[in-house]
Every structure is written in C-alpha cells, then in structure tokens.
Structure 1
Amino acid sequence: MQNEMLQATAKQDGKTVPMGSEKTDSRLLPAAEAAVKTPIHQHVYERLRKMILFGDLAPGQGVTIQGLTTALDAGMTPVREAIRRLTSEGALTHLGNRRVTVPELTHTGLEELGFMRETLEPELTRRAAERMTEGRLTALNDCDTALNHAIDRGDVGGYLMQNYNFHAMIYDLAEAPIMAATVDRLWLRFGPSLRVVCGRYGTSNLPDKHAELMAAFSAGNVTLAGEVMAGDVAQGMTQIRAALDGLPIPR
C-alpha cells in the first residue's frame, strides 16, 4: 500500500485551501486592535497619577472633580474611579464639596518616608547592580543625560520626570516587584513636594549622586552602589525638609 500524504484543509471564501494558509480577514483587525488598547479608566488613572507625581497638582491645592474632568478631557465616571484608587494609595484626600487635594507632607510623614526609602531603595540598587548589563547602563546614562539637559533648560517638569525615570529604571532591574511597587507608592507620596523644592531653589541648585552611582555600576561594585543610593536618597529628603522649613538648600 502506498503512503498517502494527508493535507488538512479549510474553507475560505468558498474555496478549499491548506490549513494554516488562510488569510486574515482585515475587517477583524480594528476590533482586535481595540481589544489591546488601554482601557479608558486605566488611561485616566495613569494621567492623573503623573499629574500628582510630577507636581502639576500642588500639595494642599484643592481641585474640583469637575475641574479634573476638564483637565483630563474625560468623563466623570473614569475620573471618579481614578480618584478612588489614588485616594486608597494616599496620593489624594477628599476636602468635601466635590473637591480633592494632594496631602501636604508633615515632618512626621517625611521621617517615615525617609526611613522607608533609605531601607528599600539601596537594597533595590544592590540587586540592580548584580544584574547590570552594558545595554542597561547605556539606557541609564541616556536618561541621566536627558535629566541634565532639563536642568540646563530650567525645565522643572522634564527634570522631575527624568529623575523619576532614572530611579524607576534601576528598581525595575532589581527584579523585586514587591519592593519596587512599594517604593513607587512612596514616590507618589513625596514626589509632589519635589516640585516645591524646585520652585524654591531652582533645578540648577539641586545636587544628586547620579554620576557616582553610574561609576559604581560601571565598576560592578554592588556594595558601593547601595551606599551611593542611600546618600542620594538622604540628600533628596534633606532638600525637601529644608524647603518645607524655608531654609537655604543644604549641600
């Protein structure tokens, strides 16, 4: 008996064609693309979160829910959902009369945030240093270069965004998602106050330890990388404390 090759077939446009060679109906693509788009409520949440994180909503500044719907160009329902989520994260508080605000930092709150940051961020940095690659180091250097350009331009928003991105890239490399998520929430608590620091002292007067950190990463010195990050965190929190107290910027 001769062996026969069996070929699976399928019907398409009334014709029999080999299975696997069917053409995709282009009419289905828009629906498929729509399925992978970010849901509107998530998009609104992320936009409002960035407004808080980068100080577009100043601590203590009351804003109406209607005002947020206008600023975000979104409906009331997704805005309310975003407010609910961010309130649960401690990034917003209700004032009544359909108004919300970013909480102002207290000295006690600042001490707690400082303790948490100085505990978690150096550990994440050490873990990132153990996993550092040349490509990742280049990406970090590009981010820090963009940060320095923002400083030169006096671009407060650009500075705050690139500073956040620089730290977030490091913590993502640590492959410790629970700690990284915790730190990200901490940044949401003190991030708005960094805008106050920039407004009081200017971006050109804000020192950091990024160059030392990059050198430690390049040298593969895990311990030093953690120590430098601890110093960078302490320096940043001291700047916030000085701004809250109306003192000259510490060096």
Structure 2
Amino acid sequence: MSEQQEFSAPQEEYRTTQERVYYQVRDAILRGKFLPGHPVTIRGLAAELDCSPMPVREALRRLTSERALELSDTRRVTVPTMTPEKLAEICSARVALECQAAEQALPFVEPEALEQLRRLDERVTAALEEGDIQEYVTANLEFHFTLYRLGRPHIILSLIESLWLQTAPLQHLVFQRFGVQELPDRHRDLLDAIAAGDVQRVRTAIRQDIEEGLGSISAEELL
C-alpha cells in the first residue's frame, strides 16, 4: 500500500488492537482508499497502523471472508477487480436489501432524524457541485447508513456493508477518472418520500439511487 494511504483515527471504544485494525482497514475500503487490483501487504499495513503483523493478518482474513479482499493461489492479498456479471448481481442484491432496510427504518424516522438526514444530503449535494470526491464518498456513506441503522436491521445491515465493501474501490476509481459532478442523486426524492411516510416511494427512490449509480459504470470502466 502506498505511503499516501489514509486511515481513520483509532476510536477509544475499540476493545482490542485486532478490532481497531479491522475497522480502520474496513473503513479505508469503504471510503475508497483502496483501488481494484491493489496489493495489500501485512508488513505495509502493520507499519502504517503501528501494530504487529498478527492483528493485520486477522483483519485481512475477516475482510477476505467478507469478499472485500481477495486471496490468490499464491497467497497474495489484493483488492478484487469487478466483472459486469458480478456488478449486476451486487446491484440486484443491494436493491433488495436496502429497500428492505429503508422500509424497516421508516417508522423510526422522527423529525430530528429526518433533519439529520437532510443535513447529510446537503453535504452530498455540495460535494457533487464542488466535485469533492472524498467528501461525497463520506457524506453519501453516512446518509445511507444513518437511515438504515434506524430500523436496527442487524443481519441485513451486515450484508449491505459487505456489498458496499465490494463496490467501493471500483466506484472510487470511476470517480477519480470522471469526477462526481454528473452523478445521479435521488436523495431528495427519498427524503420527500420519508417525510410523507410513503413506503412505496421510499423503495422506488432507493432502487433508482442504486441502479442509476451502479448502472452508470460501463463495461469498459471495469477493465
């Protein structure tokens, strides 16, 4: 991994070094710090995260089991590349799971939570207008998972996180190549549907947001 690799600061609530390392690497993947095909070394990560190789090895094992990383026949760990078929399958799975998570969260969106979502959407909109890739990635991530967590969908949420982990590197690569100014944004439709308590409109907005976002990636960009 390059020396420019960034990680979030360690959080006090992490009970062990192993847990801290896992979440820092996982967070880096979600925020697009790794690109497809990028090799990941235990020694390099251990040096950057100021820890021994053991917690790094365990973090990579967990992330490989979650399909965020890939272990080759030569025991080399890399960020997976994407195929059109795999991307289409992930898109379908995200639609199914995230529509369910949003519907499950809807009864728990109190005015304060709705206002928080609106503030996050303002950050997303500003990032799109300014072409700020990192802020867009961060704010968009926080917007979606703030909503989904309201319904406390523990099993569904872990599956959604796994799918985001698999697409984040590719999406960030596309953002670097083409920017984010032209990305579709269905958050306003979603917020209006949430405010109206309209389950079907919520599901439609989530589906369109995912399909238009992932669907904008062409087969050529997967190479």
> TM-score when scaled to structure 2?
0.87
Contact 1:209 1:232 in 2 (8 A): yes
Give every structure 1 segment of 4 or more consecutive aligned residues whose post-TM-superposition deviation is greater than 6 Å: none
- Answering whether residue 23 of structure 2 is matched by residue 46 of structure 1, we say yes
CA RMSD of aligned residues (A): 2.1
| SS at 2:159 equivalent | helix
From 34, 41, 58, the equivalent of 1:57 is 34
| TM-aligned CA deviation for residue 68 of structure 1 | 1.4
Alignment of 1:44-123 (within 5 A): 44-95=21-72, 99-123=76-100
After superposition, the Cα gap between the structure-2 partners of 1:73 and 1:95, relative to the gap in structure 1 and judged at 3 Å, is farther
| Structure 2 residue aligned with 1:232 | 209
- Answering whether residue 140 of structure 2 is matched by residue 163 of structure 1, we say yes
| Structure 1 residue aligned with 2:152 | 175
Cα deviation per residue 1:57-112 (whole Å; 9 max; x = unaligned)?
Answer: 11111132212122323221111111111111111123477742110111121121
Contact 2:14 2:20 in 1 (8 A): no
Percentage of matched positions with identical amino acids: 35
- Name structure 2 gaps, 5 residues minimum: 1-11
Contact 2:81 2:222 in 1 (8 A): no
CA distance in 2, matches of 1:143, 1:74: 34
Which protein is richer in strand relative to its size?
1
Cα deviation per residue 1:24-58 (whole Å; 9 max; x = unaligned)?
Answer: xxxxxxxxxxx965311111101101111122111
From 163, 172, 184, the equivalent of 1:195 is 172
Letter matched to residue 93 of structure 1 = E
Contact 2:121 2:140 in 1 (8 A): yes
> Higher relative contact order at CA 8 Å, sep ≥6: structure 1 or structure 2?
2
Cα deviation per residue 1:108-135 (whole Å; 9 max; x = unaligned)?
Answer: 2112101111111112112222221101
> TM-score when scaled to structure 1?
0.78
Determine which structure has more spread, i.e. the larger CA radius of gyration. 1
- Name structure 1 gaps, 5 residues minimum: 1-34, 247-251
- When the two structures are aligned, how many residues end up with a matched partner? 212
